[in-house]
Amino acid sequence: MVYRLIIVMFFFSVGVFAQDNYIKHKISQGENLSVIAKKYGVKVKDIADANPNAPKILKLNSTLLIPNKNTVKSKNKNAEVAVNNTPSNTSGIHEVASKETLWGISKKYNVSVNDLKKANPLLETEGLKIGQQIVIPTDEAVIKEKQPETSVEVVSTDVELFREVKAKETKYGISKEYGITVAELERQNPSIKGKVPVGYLLKIRIPKEKADAIQASKALQGSNNENAIASSSSPVNATVEAVSEIKRDSTLVRMGTNSELIDQLIANATENIGTRYRSGGTTKAGFDCSGLMICTFNNFDIKLPRSSIEQSRVGTKVSADEAQKGDLIFFRTNGRRHINHVGMIVEVAEGEIKFVHSSTHGGVIISSTKEPYYTRAFSQVNRILN
């Protein structure tokens, strides 16, 4: 009898100990190990150790055992040292979704593409895969900033605007106008995954300060236009001024058209981000580097030669310091003696050139000349549109 009582007490004490040491957590939409660990004040490694058989990709509504915070604190010094040896700049895990790119992920977490590759060496050889979990290297301040925006203060400062799409406008141009990404514009308007139809009413949520600045800028532009019209209506020398105004207008139209054309080219090319690489490909089924340029420029009735080396002989060669949006940028990759890769410049800032291209490893992506691989391989820049 005493022996049975001892056995019962043993299993009871084990059960109580287990309940005290662990908390059961049911996984909700959008949660990952990093988010759950912060919620309970424990480390990702503690949760992983407590759930050795858990799949790498967490399943919705499945259950995880969360170590009690007091139990974690009572670990021996050797275990604490092992945990503390984890790199302090490794602060989160991101699960790759469909059509996501390194460029988009780097913008989302405010880190460079190069830092992402350093934290995830396999990206250089294998590229991104749907469902893959990659390490996001950043400090605690950035992680807090990138947590789901549940703060009442943040929500209260946002305003919702409505914007009608005009002829020849693109998602890229509209998102740039409001200081958001194309991905964010699509997230706020789920029905515009393809081209945006003319007349469509977009819903755009941005901070109130940004909305006020945009409205003020448009008001100022409208005022300037009214003043220009008023000054040209003077009866003095009306014929001469009319001719002069036509010349100024024609010049402005040409400048505006050229600038708009470059934005349209960039928008057209970047809409293919995520499309796979295909040798000889010139369609959305797959592009090679020169094929992406051919398809993009051909959409605006600009014909380019077939190969990257032939394209390098078109237009005007300019220095890297003079590079502008819309220019073609050429490389000699893999130690080649001749040009064998081409992309289109989408942004130039502080000596860094960002360009869209079709990479053999990642398909259509945006890369930077700050990345060591492209720094070494850089050859020249050509201006197609003068």
CATH topology of domain 1-86: Membrane-bound Lytic Murein Transglycosylase D; Chain A (3.10.350)
164 Ramachandran zone, left/alpha/beta (phi>0; psi -120 to 50): beta
pLDDT at residue 283 in the model = 94
* 1-86 and 152-231, same CATH topology: yes
Mean pLDDT of 259-283: 93
pLDDT in tens, 11-61: 444 444 444 577 888 888 778 888 888 888 888 888 888 887 777 677 788
Taking the domains of the chain in order of start, what are their residue ranges?
Answer: 1-86, 88-147, 152-231, 282-383
> What's the CATH number for 152-231?
3.10.350.10
> Residue 179 in 3-state DSSP?
coil
For CA atoms 331, 333, 337, 342, give the dihedral sign.
negative
Beta pairing, strands 316-318 & 378-383: antiparallel
**Do 293 and 328 contact (CB within 8 A), yes or no?**
yes
Q: Which CATH architecture has domain 282-383?
A: Alpha-Beta Complex (3.90)
Length, in residues, of the chain: 386
Collapsing DSSP to helix, strand or coil, 66 comes out as strand
Q: Average model confidence (pLDDT) for the chain? A: 76
Does 231 have pLDDT greater than 50?
Answer: no
Average pLDDT, integer, range 201-223: 78
- Looking at residue 347, its pLDDT comes to 95
Helical spans, DSSP H, in the chain: 2-21, 33-40, 44-50, 69-73, 77-84, 102-109, 113-119, 123-126, 140-146, 152-156, 171-177, 182-188, 208-231, 238-270, 289-298, 308-311, 372-377
The pLDDT tens digits of the residues spanning 336-383 come to 899 999 999 999 998 899 999 999 989 999 999 999 999 999 999 999
- Cα radius of gyration rounded to whole Å, the chain: 28
Q: Which CATH architecture fits 88-147?
A: Roll (3.10)
The proportion of the chain whose per-residue pLDDT surpasses 70, expressed as a percent, equals: 73
Q: Is residue 291 classed as helix, strand or coil in its secondary structure?
A: helix
pLDDT of residue 82: 39
Task: Summarize pLDDT for 180-197 with one digit per residue, the tens.
Answer: 888 888 888 887 877 778
Residues that are catalytic:
289, 341, 357
Confidence at residue 40, expressed as pLDDT on a 0 to 100 scale: 83
| 60-100 pLDDT tens trace | 888 888 887 665 555 544 444 433 444 434 457 888 888 78
In the predicted model, is pLDDT for residue 150 greater than 80?
no
How far is the C-alpha of 375 from the C-alpha of 379, rounded, in Å?
A: 9
